[in-house]
Amino acid sequence: MYTLYWSPGSASLCVHWMLIELGEPHELAKVDIEAGEHRKPEYLKLNPGGVVPTLVVDGVPLGEAAALCMTLAERHPQAGFAPAPGNAQRGAYLSWMFFLSNTVQTAFHAWFYPDQPAGQDAVEPVKAAARRRIETCLDRVDRQIAASGAYLLGDRVTAADFVTTMLMRWSRNMPKPATEWPAIAGYVKRMKARPSFKVLYEREGLTEWA
């Protein structure tokens, strides 16, 4: 049994999606970010950084969305969501997971929280820089999908695809959303056609980008 601390549409989405895909029993504990629940002492005991998601695995609270997706993929290898150690694609898989987490996701963080690096006065330049960084990342993701086939690493869906699709969704209200890149547009359609996506949307109460 897993427990996922989540918030609609946030970085917990890829983990929630994988739990649905895997059909593993799980409980959901909603965290109201608007109300500041993620900064309350009870939550900070689970996630010292005060961010969503947290996944409790065998009683141990763990953070970092991409790492949680990797953990789920490895705990349930029958789903084939991660190339096994020694597999020729393992290096590319790890490399993409880290890129998605430490480069793409952090660029989105700057876009959504532009006052954080240098206050309100710097919001415009921070947003402009974040947009450039995100679009450069989208160029790279688009090239990768165009070259590799249906999904990020070829013909099989991996944990990286749940993270990627979540990040593509985050761009939906940006001046140039990810779906304006041709290979990404087809890819997103394929990922959204998975029956689990509908379940995820219903459970999270999401409607945009359906």
The token pair at 9 is 């549409």
Name the minimum Å distance from CB 147 to ligand GSH. Answer: 26
Long-range contacts of 183-190 (CB under 8 A, 24+ apart): 183/142, 183/143, 183/145, 183/146, 184/138, 184/141, 184/142, 184/145, 186/145, 187/145, 187/150, 187/151, 187/152, 190/150, 190/151
Q: Which of 4, 22, 52, 130 binds ligand GSH (CB under 6 A)?
A: 52
Q: Is 70 exposed, middle or buried (0-12, 13-18, 19+ CB in 10 A)?
A: buried
Q: Coil, strand, or helix at residue 109?
A: helix
Amino acid at 95: S
With binding defined as CB under 6 A, does residue 33 bind ligand GSH? yes
With binding defined as CB under 6 A, does residue 123 bind ligand GSH? no
Name the minimum Å distance from CB 90 to ligand GSH. Answer: 21
| Of residues 94-113, those binding ligand GSH (CB under 6 A) | 105, 109
With binding defined as CB under 6 A, does residue 137 bind ligand GSH? no
With binding defined as CB under 6 A, does residue 178 bind ligand GSH? no
- In the complex with ligand GSH, the residue whose CB is nearer, 10 or 171, is 10
Rounded CA separation 83/77 (Å):
9
| Of residues 59-88, those binding ligand GSH (CB under 6 A) | 63-65
With binding defined as CB under 6 A, does residue 51 bind ligand GSH? yes
- In the complex with ligand GSH, the residue whose CB is nearer, 62 or 185, is 62
Name the minimum Å distance from CB 105 to ligand GSH. Answer: 6
> Which residues of the shown chain bind ligand GSH in the complex (CB under 6 A)?
10-11, 33, 38, 51-53, 63-65, 105, 109
